[in-house]
Amino acid sequence: MIPVKYNVRNLVVRKTTTIAAAFGLALVVFVFAAAQMLGAGVKKTLGRAASAENAIVLRRGSSNEMESGIEEQQVNLVLAQAQQVGASKAPAGVGELLVVILMDKVGTDGGVSNVTVRGVPEESYAFRPSVKIVEGRAAKPGSDEVVVGAGIHGRFKGLKLGESFEIKKNRKVTVVGVFSDDGSSFESEVWADVHTIRTGFGREGYVSSIRVRLDSASKFDAFKALIEQNRQLGLEALRETDYYARQSEDTAAFLTIMGTVIAVLFSIGAMIGATITMNAQVANRQREIGTLRALGFSRRSILTSFLLESIVLASIGGGVGALASIGLKFVKITMLNVGTWAEIVFAFEPTPDILIRSIILAGGMGVVGGFLPAVRAARVSPIEAMRA
């Protein structure tokens, strides 16, 4: 077996070709990892808004809060059912109204996008203790004041602290505070008083969803049975964790598939580049290969050696690409959530699994890109090589 240090020495000696090939492979791995991190980031951002003890109640047949409409009088009925199975913590639940408005984006020439506005009762802040006012103050109940999530603060015109914007024509609200929620999707929303949203959008007497906090996650099945066996209510209950997992599926899948397709196209080019690089090395090392054969190394040893060299080259490029992708953790981007068609702010989420898959991809490209040149090297005749 040819020593590994022989392959390492060859890569070091041929710095230019090594760097060029490694860069192409690193770029593919970076794109692949970034796509995977985008999908993981969406799932984590939406998942942070969920609690294992919480249930969300929607109108039966609704796929999300935007499509749901529940009469306000049913809120107390739902909360009574929650108390029956076990919801001793106060407040046991809240009814909220969700709408989407079109706003102008800051830093774009006429660019607009949808923003989620959540109508919340005063109890919503106590229901979600993770929500903290980080600037300004909380909005006064029953007023035309709103608080803005830290994720979209300043990203749209009128969404800075102290500024105003119209939720409907001639209905202005003022931003009096900025809140955070551990990076959850709530940070991509504007929170206003539920009565303000009802009157502004003609939704008097309705909420979009009812969130209920049970004593434990094990009480959910009993609560779900009580809600759904009452056909007159026409409601369905979901675990909040399941609801947000379902909401993230389409967006995460779209990002992951799109990024993977781009990475595959890039990888084809990278493998062709690796093949050309290794073929050039085989052509330039005819005498060297002939000497190795003359020293008694078999064709299999030559093939293994050159294939290993390609894998080492790919692993170097893959490692560089994977390490570079970790820096994306500090980058936040916005895009439309497929479930609500409203802006959501999220970060890339690097995980050990993604990094491992990325490096495995690099190794696979090394095998595919280096196989044919390795076969060509193994077929070199020692006599003809020494004459070259």
**Tens place of pLDDT per residue across the chain (388 aa):** 676 676 677 677 777 777 877 888 888 889 888 888 888 888 888 888 888 889 999 999 898 898 899 999 898 888 888 888 776 666 788 999 999 999 988 877 778 888 999 999 989 988 998 999 999 999 998 899 999 999 999 899 999 999 999 988 888 999 999 999 988 889 999 999 999 999 989 889 999 999 998 888 888 999 999 898 888 789 999 999 998 888 877 777 777 787 778 777 877 877 777 777 777 777 777 777 777 777 777 888 878 887 888 888 888 888 999 999 999 988 887 877 766 777 788 888 899 999 998 888 888 888 888 888 888 877 777 666 566 5
Shared domain check, 216 and 149: yes
Domain boundary among 183, 198, 233: 233
What CA–CA distances, in Å, run from 276 to 21, 286, 314, 359?
9, 16, 14, 21
Number of domains making up the chain: 2
Assigned token pair, 143: 């007023």
Cβ–Cβ < 8 Å for 236, 57: yes
Shared domain check, 189 and 223: yes
- Cα dihedral 331, 335, 338, 339 sign: positive
In a domain, 241, yes or no: no
pTM over 0.85: no
Task: Give the structural domain span for 147.
Answer: 61-233
Shared domain check, 65 and 42: no
Assigned token pair, 285: 């090392």
**Which of 226, 207, 238 is CA-nearest to residue 70?**
207
Shared domain check, 129 and 197: yes
Q: Residue 268: what pLDDT? A: 81
